[in-house]
Amino acid sequence: MPCESNHQPPGRHAALARMAVRLEEAYGVPQDIEWAVTPAGRILILQCRPLEQVEGGAGGPGAEAPRPVDAPLLLTGG
């Protein structure tokens, strides 16, 4: 489904950030979070899993990027 707007209602980003912090606190490590917003504006957490980190470090600024995969592109456009 195409995104109707890139503009989010006030407070949406803050609500997502609070959810991310609560999930990180609950699981003890940063989480890769998949979420959605209902037509009524309710935020749903679909799934989360530990955030993968670059080998040999915690990632972040200055971390080595993973090597690109040498394979044909299978899908574009989400």
Residue 60's pLDDT band (boundaries 50, 70, 90)?
low
pLDDT 10s digits, 4-44? 556 677 788 889 999 999 999 999 999 999 999 999 989 99
Query: What confidence tier does 62 reach under pLDDT thresholds 50, 70, 90?
Result: low
Tell me the sheet residues that pair with 50.
31
Is residue 47's pLDDT more than 90?
yes
> What integer pLDDT is reported at residue 57 of this predicted model?
54
Q: Are 27 and 45 in contact (CB under 8 A)?
A: no
3-class secondary structure, 10 = coil
CA distance 21 to 24: 5
Domain boundaries, given as residue ranges, for the chain:
12-50
